[in-house]
């Protein structure tokens, strides 16, 4: 699909400026798709729109009503469960870069609980099918894979978790071998290596994970 890539500088907080929010995304988060006068954000919505507009192969969002519902079911579940587990990665590695050294243990524990609980579901689904929503790869797999790449990069998930969830490891390795996996995940792995080495990354990003938490109670701006 033809597109022009525009990099949003999250380090300097361009995405937090009001004119950016007014024009592109009121939450200030990425990714964002601009197609002429049409703007859409949230990765699942973007992918669905592209699939519809360019008549992508049916495996990505389903060929039948039941398949489409199954994939959408995962996308909704992902946002409420596995995505919340990102707090384990965020508060372990990025929180210090924003607020300095302090006790983030409660936030890390909440993210860890959501992640561990979600892995049980993934293991069960992958015990029944090769991919999360059947025998063909779908957008659900891309969502989940990208999420787990962050946890691998930050050493949140390692040998212990893989041994407990062998089906997830098999699935993760299968997707990692796809030709487009490395270009997408390489940057995340590089950032993870920097943080594991103790290198601070100057940033002011106020992600959804950092709003209304015990670290910044009641802060939603």
Q: pLDDT tens digits, residue range 55-88?
A: 999 999 999 999 999 999 999 999 999 999 999 9
Domain boundaries of the chain, sorted by first residue: 65-202
pLDDT of amino acid 215: 64
Q: pLDDT tens digits, residue range 94-124?
A: 888 888 888 999 999 999 999 999 999 999 9
Note whether 30 and 211 are within 8 A (CB). no
Kindly tell me if the per-residue pLDDT of 221 is higher than 50. Answer: no
Could you tell me the maximum CA-CA distance found in the chain, to the nearest angstrom?
51
Kindly tell me if the per-residue pLDDT of 130 is higher than 60. Answer: yes
Give the span between the Cα atoms of 152 and 169, in whole angstroms.
11
How many other CB atoms are found less than 10 A from the CB of residue 181?
17
Q: What is the CATH number of domain 65-202?
A: 1.20.1050.10
Q: Any bridge partners for residue 131, and if so which?
A: 134
From residue 22, give the alpha-carbon distance in Å to each of 39, 46, 79, 212.
11, 18, 24, 22
């Amino acid at each position: 699909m033809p597109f022009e890539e525009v990099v949003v500088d999250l380090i300097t907080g361009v995405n937090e400026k009001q004119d950016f929010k007014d024009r592109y995304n009121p939450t200030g988060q990425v990714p964002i798709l601009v197609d002429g006068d049409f703007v859409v954000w949230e990765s699942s919505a973007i992918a669905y729109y592209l699939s519809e507009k360019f008549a992508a192969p049916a495996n990505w969002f389903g060929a039948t009503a039941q398949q489409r519902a199954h994939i959408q079911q995962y996308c909704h579940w992902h946002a409420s469960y596995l995505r919340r587990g990102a707090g384990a990665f965020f508060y372990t590695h990025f929180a210090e870069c924003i607020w300095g050294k302090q006790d983030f243990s409660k936030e890390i524990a909440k993210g860890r609980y959501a992640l561990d609980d979600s892995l049980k579901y993934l293991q069960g689904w992958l015990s029944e099918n090769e991919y999360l929503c059947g025998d063909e790869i779908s957008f659900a797999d891309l969502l989940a894979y990208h999420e787990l790449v962050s946890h691998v990069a930050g050493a949140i998930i390692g040998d212990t978790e893989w041994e407990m969830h062998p089906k997830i490891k098999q699935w993760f390795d299968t997707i990692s071998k796809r030709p487009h996996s490395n270009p997408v995940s390489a940057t995340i792995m590089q950032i993870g290596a920097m943080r594991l080495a103790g290198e601070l990354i100057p940033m002011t990003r106020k992600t959804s994970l950092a709003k209304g938490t015990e670290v910044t109670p009641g802060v939603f701006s």
